[in-house]
């Protein structure tokens, strides 16, 4: 195993986090315009998480990497790039829940080694790295670690956003030239609205 290849234990942690995240079905109350930031504990880089699935077609969490990733997300949301062309500007890590036919041999090998079983539509976790100008690819060790961390943070924080009186964790509204941001902070198990 190369230094860049995730260990089986790291894959297990990622699959465990992804499956726990899927159980939450937070796409039932969050839009893809509601985002939240997660800091990479190793590098300090901020990743911006976007949850997709409110329309019931595609279920995923995208982790947009740094300023470049966030800018790609914003350009896509503003309509500057069509969804078909957005693939070529994205800088993100993604877990999506797919049909088996979309997984590659390498994905299926990891699932088999972990003794996991999936059946049905939109049930198979698929992990990919998206870099501008490149085809989606398998995750490196560092990417597996950061995506695992982001999913664990989502599992810990997002249930707070489901409550009726809660504001979105972060919301981007408005035209491409003006965005309104709002963030919440957890202090002593209470979320505090920090502004918009």
Q: How confident is the model at residue 61, as a pLDDT?
A: 96
- Domain annotation covers residue 188: no
Q: What is the pLDDT of residue 32?
A: 85
33 contacts 172 by C-beta, under 8 angstroms: yes
Residue 186 lies in a domain: no
Indicate whether 12 belongs to any domain.
yes
Domain span at residue 98? Answer: 8-159
Residue 49 in any domain: the answer is yes
Res 2: pLDDT: 60
192: in domain? no
Smallest CA-to-CA distance from 72 within 35, 126, 38 is with 35
Euclidean distance between CA atoms 195 and 185, whole angstroms: 10
Residue 115 pLDDT: 97
- Report the number of distinct structural domains present in the chain: 1
Does a structural domain hold residue 173? no
- Which class for 85: exposed (0-12), middle (13-18), buried (19 or more C-beta within 10 A)? exposed
pLDDT for residue 160: 59
What's the pTM? Answer: 0.82
From first to last of its 196 residues, the chain has per-residue pLDDT tens of 568 999 999 999 999 999 999 999 999 988 888 888 899 989 999 999 999 998 888 999 999 999 999 999 988 888 888 777 777 789 999 999 999 999 999 999 999 999 999 999 999 999 999 999 898 999 999 999 999 999 999 988 776 555 544 444 444 433 333 333 344 443 443 434 444 3
| Residue 93 within a domain | yes
Is residue 18 assigned to a domain?
yes
Per-residue pLDDT at 124: 96
């Amino acid at each position: 195993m190369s230094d860049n290849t995730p260990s089986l234990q790291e894959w297990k942690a990622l699959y465990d986090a992804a499956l726990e995240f899927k159980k939450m079905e937070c796409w039932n109350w969050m839009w893809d315009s509601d985002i939240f930031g997660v800091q990479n504990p190793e590098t300090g880089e901020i990743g911006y998480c976007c949850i997709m699935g409110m329309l019931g077609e595609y279920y995923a969490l995208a982790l947009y990497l740094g300023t470049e990733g966030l800018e790609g997300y914003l350009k896509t949301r503003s309509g500057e790039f069509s969804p078909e062309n957005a693939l070529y500007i994205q800088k993100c890590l993604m877990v999506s829940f797919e049909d088996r036919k979309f997984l590659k041999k390498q994905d299926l090998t990891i699932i088999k080694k972990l003794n996991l079983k999936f059946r049905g539509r939109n049930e198979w976790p698929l992990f990919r790295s998206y870099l501008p100008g490149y085809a989606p690819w398998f995750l490196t060790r560092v990417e597996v670690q950061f995506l695992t961390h982001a999913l664990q943070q989502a599992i810990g924080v997002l249930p707070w956003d489901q409550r009726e009186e809660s504001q979105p964790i972060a919301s981007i509204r408005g035209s491409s030239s003006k965005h309104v941001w709002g963030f919440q902070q957890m202090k002593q198990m209470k979320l505090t609205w920090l502004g918009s």
